[in-house]
Structures are given as C-alpha cells and as structure tokens.
C-alpha cells in the first residue's frame, strides 16, 4: 500500500511541474512583448519607456528565461501571482473571496446530479435488455448534448420572464438588506434554483451513464454468475453482490468532476451574474487581467491534481486489486 501511495504521489509531483511548465509556456508563447501581458493593454505605445522598464523589472521580465521560470514557481508555491491589473489587490485574494459562491452552487448541482443520476444508472443497468434500458442510454446522450447556455436561456425565459416565479439573475434581490433572516435565506435559495438546475442535468446524465456501464461490467463477471448458480435470487445478486462493486469506480470520478464543474461554471455564472470564480475567469480574460487568469488556471489545475490523487488513493484502499495490479 505504502509503495503504491509513494509512486502515486511521485507521479503527481511530476504532473505538478508539468502544469507549471504548460502555464509558463503559454504566457511566453503569446505574440508580442510579454510586458503587455502585465499592463493589461494590447501594445506598448503611449507608455513611457521608464515605466515599461520598471514593470519589466517588477515582473522579472529583464532576467533570463530560466530565472523567470524560477520566479514563476516561487509565485505558485507562495500563492503570490502578483496584483490584479483591475484593482491592484493580490489576484489570489480576489479568487478566494469568490470561491465560496462557486462552491455553494456547484455543491448543490453535484449533490442533485449524484443523488438522482446514480440510482437511475443502477436501475437502468439492472433492467438490461429491456426497452427501458435501450431507451435510457439515448436519453442520457440527449441530455448530454443539450448546450447549457441554451437550457439556461430557456429556463430564464420560462421561469423568470414569462412567469416571474424566480429571479432572472444575481445572487440576492435589491432589497436583500431590508429582509429578515428567514427572508434572506429564502431569497438566496430562490436565486440559486435556476443556475443550479442548469448545472445539474448534464452531470446527471454523466453519472447515470457511468454508473450504468460500471454495473453492466460487474454483472458480466464470473462471481455474479457463481452467485446466480448458487441460487441467490435475482434482486439479492444485484443488491448484495453487484452494486457494491459497481459503486467503487465512482470514487475515481471525484478528481475528474472538479475541472468539469468549473468549465460549466464559466458559462452559467456569467449568464446568471453569479459572483463566483467562473464569472471572474471570463471577466478577467475579457479585461486582460492576466495575473488573475493565470492564478485561477494554476490553482484549479493543482486542486484537480490533488483531488485525483486523493480519489486514486481512496480507490486503492477500497479495492486491493488496484494496488496489486499496479505492482506488475
């Protein structure tokens, strides 16, 4: 076990350096003077040379490439990505204050999707060969193919514009500060419904499909046939033998889910003017606030890496076959 753990962590460290190299290369492959990267403008004309020189010095652009990479690594380790071009506050602070908003929205979407998607997947796999099972895989694909911004647009049109049942966008109403505590909670929940629905449906299809294929695979294994041959009843085989093994691979989804959720957040948070990191990423890109863009890119990639190592380790603890197979 400890050997497996050590190897997995060693790989992760290498992947981490890969991430820093990819992001560093990305900055330095942008056409034009890299100093424009940090002053939030497309060109250097109109900026006095002395100031340009000062900025170059501040961001270490006057040093050799390898030294610049060293500074970049140091920045990542100390979580110091420099001040935002927009308000000169540290980019990291701006991210940290938006993170809870994104987390709240995504947690609800994740919980809804997992709670509905996993049982649907299990159920459709247990009815293998039935019309329902054949039809369900198509339905998952249709859900999967719906563009989230279109679904969000239709939800807004129906629930907020035509019927005014729910707010169109934002996180709170204009008179939020005048409300009572219970009123505030209700107001926040009302603002969450549409964006979290728009984030949920595609994930739901994803979990249902993943669970279904995991269970289908387990059902075809020998020990299930053995259980059947022993005379264990159909439902008991499914519940007692197959399900537990089928749910194991779901642990590995933990790491894969985070980048997926954040991708979805960019569109949905922007549309609903939700004050989270997805919205921040797009606004920073549009206003050429590259310190914030880079900080977000690196931080999310590292968090994803951490989550995927964690889920692999959990998987290895739960399923000894993994760590034995890994040794070969």
**φ/ψ bin of 44: left (φ > 0), alpha (ψ from -120 to 50), beta (otherwise):** alpha
Using the rule CB under 8 A, is 223 a contact of another protein? no
Question: Out of 246, 253, 296, 316, which residue is the one contacting another protein (CB under 8 A)?
Answer: 296
Indicate the residue among 31 and 129 with the shorter CB distance to another protein: 31
Question: Out of 51, 111, 154, 324, which residue is the one contacting another protein (CB under 8 A)?
Answer: 154
Question: Out of 194, 246, 305, 313, which residue is the one contacting another protein (CB under 8 A)?
Answer: 305
Q: What angle do CA 244, 245, 246 make, to 5 degrees?
A: 95
Enter the tokens of residue 316: 């290895």
Question: Out of 9, 111, 153, 318, which residue is the one contacting another protein (CB under 8 A)?
Answer: 153
Question: Out of 71, 103, 176, 260, which residue is the one contacting another protein (CB under 8 A)?
Answer: 260
Residue of 222, 220, 205, 214 whose CA lies nearest to 244: 214
Rounded Cα gap, residues 261 and 103, in angstroms: 10
Question: Out of 108, 197, 266, 313, which residue is the one contacting another protein (CB under 8 A)?
Answer: 266
- Part of the chain binding another protein (CB under 8 A), chosen from 73-81, 100-108, 144-152, 226-234: 144-152
Direct distance between the N- and C-terminal alpha carbons of the chain, in angstroms, rounded to an integer = 14
Helix (H), strand (E) at residue 285: helix 277-286
Helix, strand or coil, per DSSP, at residue 261: helix
Using the rule CB under 8 A, is 194 a contact of another protein? no
Using the rule CB under 8 A, is 166 a contact of another protein? no
Rounded Cα gap, residues 169 and 269, in angstroms: 9
Q: What is the dihedral angle through the alpha carbons of 39, 43, 44, 47, rounded to the nearest 10 degrees?
A: -70
Residue 144 backbone phi and psi in degrees, to 5? -60, -30
Rounded Cα gap, residues 113 and 122, in angstroms: 14
Using the rule CB under 8 A, is 85 a contact of another protein? no
Using the rule CB under 8 A, is 107 a contact of another protein? no
Using the rule CB under 8 A, is 91 a contact of another protein? no
Using the rule CB under 8 A, is 124 a contact of another protein? no
Indicate the residue among 118 and 277 with the shorter CB distance to another protein: 277
Question: Per DSSP, which regions of the chain are E strands?
Answer: none
Question: Out of 215, 262, 280, 295, which residue is the one contacting another protein (CB under 8 A)?
Answer: 262
Q: How many residues bind another protein (CB under 8 A)?
A: 52
Binding site for another protein (CB under 8 A): 11, 14-15, 18-19, 22, 26, 30-31, 137-138, 141-142, 144-150, 153-154, 156-157, 161, 168, 216, 220, 256, 258-260, 262-264, 266-267, 270-271, 281-282, 285-286, 293, 296-297, 300-302, 304-305, 308
């Amino acid at each position: 076990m400890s050997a497996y753990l050590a190897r997995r962590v060693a790989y992760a460290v290498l992947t981490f350096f890969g991430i820093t190299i990819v992001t560093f290369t990305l900055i330095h492959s942008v056409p034009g003077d890299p100093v424009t990267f940090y002053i939030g403008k497309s060109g250097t004309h109109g900026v006095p040379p002395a100031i340009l020189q000062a900025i170059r010095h501040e961001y270490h652009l006057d040093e050799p490439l390898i030294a610049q990479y060293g500074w970049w690594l140091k920045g990542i380790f100390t979580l110091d990505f420099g001040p935002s071009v927009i308000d000169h506050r540290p980019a990291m602070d701006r991210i940290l204050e938006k993170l809870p908003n994104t987390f709240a929205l995504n947690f609800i979407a994740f919980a809804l999707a997992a709670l509905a998607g996993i049982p649907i997947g299990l159920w459709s796999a247990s009815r293998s060969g039935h019309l329902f099972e054949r039809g369900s895989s198509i339905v998952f694909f249709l859900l999967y193919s719906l563009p989230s911004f279109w679904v969000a647009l239709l939800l807004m049109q129906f629930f907020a514009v035509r019927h005014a049942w729910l707010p169109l966008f934002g996180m709170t109403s204009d008179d939020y500060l005048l409300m009572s505590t219970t009123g505030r909670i209700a107001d926040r929940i009302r603002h969450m419904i549409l964006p979290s629905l728009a984030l949920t449906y595609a994930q739901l299809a994803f979990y249902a499909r993943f669970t279904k294929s995991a269970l289908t695979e387990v059902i075809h294994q020998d020990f299930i046939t053995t259980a059947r041959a022993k005379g264990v009843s159909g439902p008991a085989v499914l519940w007692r033998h197959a399900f537990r093994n089928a749910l194991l691979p779901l642990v590995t989804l933990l790491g894969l889910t985070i980048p997926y959720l954040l991708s979805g957040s960019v569109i949905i948070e922007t549309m609903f003017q939700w004050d989270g990191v997805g919205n921040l990423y797009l606004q920073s890109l549009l206003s050429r606030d590259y310190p914030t863009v880079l900080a977000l890119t690196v931080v999310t990639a590292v968090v994803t890496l951490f989550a995927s190592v964690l889920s692999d380790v959990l998987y290895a603890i739960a399923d000894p076959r993994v760590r034995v197979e890994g040794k070969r």
